[in-house]
Structure 1
Amino acid sequence: MSLPMPVKLIAIATLALGASSALAFEPKGKVECLAPADPGGGWDFTCRSVGNVLETLDLVPASVQTINMAGAGGGVAFAHTVSKRAGDDQLLVAASTATTTRLAQGQFPGMDASMVNWVGALGADYGVIAVANDSEYQDLPALMEALKTDPRSVKFAGGSAKGGWDHLKVLIAAQEAGVENLPRIAYLSYNNGGEAMTQVVGGHVDAFTGDITEAQGFMDSGDLRVLAVLSEERLPGEFSEIPTAREQGIDALGPNWRGFYMPADISDEAREYWVGAMDTIYESDEWKEVMSSNGLMPFHMTAGEFQDFVTQQIVDIETLSKDIGLVQ
């Protein structure tokens, strides 16, 4: 007996849907998130906080394991992803403006942004310049005046490599403040923001350059005093008391997006799954709470839009690096 036409169409559609569902990608078992730094920094925060939300929203079948792989300002993790993990559709790698900065400056030899898949950004973490609570410097102009007198008089500590995004933020502020001989400004590179702040709080280095999410713990303990946040306007909530560099007469901005790339050669279905997962995370109440409690500002791009953004940012940072004299 033949089925009536509407029922037959529904049956065919159901069969087709079942077949496509069987072919669609879903992660199996443990998912890895590679943080290209030691525990305590921004990339580590990105992996752990996003991993928690992935688990809470049941976007992964098991746990998300954060693996720390420090070195070369993210270069060790990038090289590992490119050379050893091609096709691995269960690996996420934390990235940020620090990543594009290193790519822009040719710090990952023989590698470029096209060698990985850029799957999404989930917020922007704004840069800060901070000092120990008992520091003589009471505001950003006072710190910049010291640099004008002697560029070597203030030593900065950050979690990026020399010439990386943390270093660039100081140079951007100094350039806007009218400091000359920018390459002479002393910058000490540490494996992560936590280690850099420990050096500042301990009195070994004068000032910290990093991001607001990194600084929060030391701010809460009263050990670190933020002189300026490098945002267009003051951040909301508990960070609203921190003045911007702009309102202190120094037009310096330092947004640091937080997102992920994945290895090359993953299937279209896998890429679509993880791009969709990033969209789901960003819209969730759980992620909104993470953003609110950690000073992250709205910033979200997926798929081709994010790929285009990364490509353009690399061009822009290369130009800036040349203007400041970091690269030829």
Structure 2
Amino acid sequence: MKKLSIALMATTLMSVSILASDIKRPECVAPAKPGGGFDLTCRVVQTGLKDQFDRLIKVTFMPGGIGAVAINQFNTTRTDDPNAIVAFSSGSLLNIATGKYGKWTENDVKFLATAGADFGAVVVKTNSKYKTLDELMTDLKKDESSVVVGAGGSVGSQDWMKGALLFKSINKDPKKMRYVAYDGGGDAIAGLLGGSIDVYMGDVGEMSSHLDAGTMRILAVLSTERLPEPFSKYPTAIEQGYDAEWTILRGYYMGKNVSEEAYNTWVSAFEKAYKDPEFKKLQEEKGLFPLNMAGAELDKSVKERIAKLRALAKDAGLIK
């Protein structure tokens, strides 16, 4: 029996090795120009999985339509490519939910693994009259037009959605939100500090330097539970009684016709990386919080998230 177990173990290890060797040209497609979030996502996998394949994972840039060109290619000419994974973000999921990718939906790719995450934050300047989220929400309940919200994104963007979730949590119509769209987060922060807006819908990861400088304060983090240090002192919106959560997810998908063997090879590579302290260190260096999911768990989670986004977009009048 012992010999049989050893033989089975050897066979299993050999099969894993054979599967890994089938990934001849590992590639991460960043569906944008160099620089930015998709590039960062591919660099995470390039470094984090560097010892798990026979060669370095190549990063390829495929700009166009904030991911539309990439998802089209992986639903036409590269549906079964075992070598390539494509970077996605919560913005990609929002584009799927609102139909920005045309006929392609969440069922036309295989969601593979995460690189990590950031989380939304409700931010005010230090001398704001709002000391707690409750105070802000009380004013919104009385008169939603009394508060000016701003962020670095247009109506329907991720940042707008954060505000929409807050409005939905108190049964207010997101379409009535007084929202100022800036060209980017830096401009929105300048607007907050200059008094043009009352509340900034930002991300936790970008807040460190401003919190250290004492110019801004976080009223709530839009995560399901409190984040680790140095952000553990900031309460979530959920624990304060408001059902608003926004995870800025970064991860990867593959073509829908990729073999289970190739898909599982990549899943195993990520699961191995997640156990390595160096991967956690890499996430921290890239400004990401650990949110490690791969395979069926991630695929299920992403599809549930897209369904919620689609429902929210319909309620907000963004889609029919």
Q: Shorter-chain TM-score category?
A: 0.7 to 0.9
Deviations 1:192-244 (A, max 9, x none): xxx62211222276344343234445545656543320123321111123232
Matched, 1:54 2:10: no
Identity fraction in percent? 31
1:75 aligns with 2:63: no
| Most deviating of 146-155 and 231-240 | 146-155
Deviation, 1:186, is: 4.4
Which residue of 1 is the match for residue 176 of structure 2? Answer: 184
**What CA distance in whole angstroms lies between the structure 1 residues aligned with 2:11 and 2:288?**
47
| Distance (whole Å) between structure 1 residues aligned to residue 107 and residue 249 of structure 2 | 19
The alignment partner of 1:238 has SS state of coil
Shift of 1:48: 2.5
Partner of 2:85: 92
Deviation digits for residues 118-154 of structure 1, max 9, x if unmatched?
1123544322122456666544345445555353851
The aligned counterpart of 2:150 is 156
2:97 to 89, 104, 113: 104
Closer, same or farther: CA 66–104 of 1 in aligned 2, 3 Å = same
Is 1:39 matched up with 2:39?
A: no
Q: 1:243 to 1:44 in 2, by over 3 A?
A: farther
What's the counterpart of residue 271 of structure 2? Answer: 279
What code does the residue aligned with 2:305 have? Q
Alignment RMSD (CA, Å): 3.9
Q: State the Cα deviation string for residues 100-119 of structure 1 (Å, max 9, x = none).
A: 33322323211112222211
Q: Distance in 1 between matches of 2:205 and 2:31?
A: 15
Equivalent position to 1:115, from 108, 115, 125: 108
Task: Name the SS of the counterpart of 2:49 in structure 1.
Answer: helix
Q: Any idea what the Cα deviations from partners look like across 1:241-273, whole Å, max 9, x if unmatched? A: 323224544342223443210234434433222
Which segment drifts farther, 277-286 or 74-83? 74-83
Query: Aligned pair count?
Result: 308
- Whether contact under 8 Å (1:101, 1:314) holds in the other structure is yes
Report what 1:321 is aligned to: 313
The answer as to whether partners of 1:53 and 1:287 remain within 8 angstroms in 2 is yes
Q: Which of 197, 209, 222 in structure 1 is aligned with 2:185?
A: 197
Q: Provide closer, same or farther for how the CA distance between residues 200 and 134 of structure 1 changes in structure 2, counting only shifts above 3 A.
A: farther
* 1: CA distance, partners of 2:54 / 2:120: 31
TM-score for both structures, normalised by structure 2: 0.75
Tell me which of 223, 232, 251 is aligned to 2:224.
Answer: 232
AA at the equivalent of 1:311: K
The Cα shift of 1:61 comes to: 1.2
Shift of 1:63: 4.8
> Residues 251 and 265 from structure 1, CA distance in 2 versus in 1: closer, same or farther, beyond 3 angstroms?
closer
Deviation of 1:281 after TM superposition, in Å, equals 1.8
Deviations 1:169-212, CA, capped at 9 Å, x for gaps? 2111122245x33213244667xxxx622112222763443432
CA–CA separation in structure 1 for the residues paired with 2:114 and 2:49: 15
Work out the CA distance in 2 between the residues paired with 1:20 and 1:226: 46
Query: C-alpha distance in 2, partners of 1:19/1:230?
Result: 43
Are residues 1:170 and 2:163 paired? yes
Tell me how far 1:88 sits from its aligned partner.
3.6
Rate the CA distance shift 1:215–1:33 in 2: closer, same or farther, 3 A.
farther
Which sections of structure 2, spanning at least 5 residues, go unmatched? none
Letter in 1 for 2:122: I
Which position in structure 2 is the counterpart of 1:307? 299
Tell me the residue number matched to 1:127: 120
Distance 1:52 1:217 in 2: 26
SS in 1 for 2:262: helix
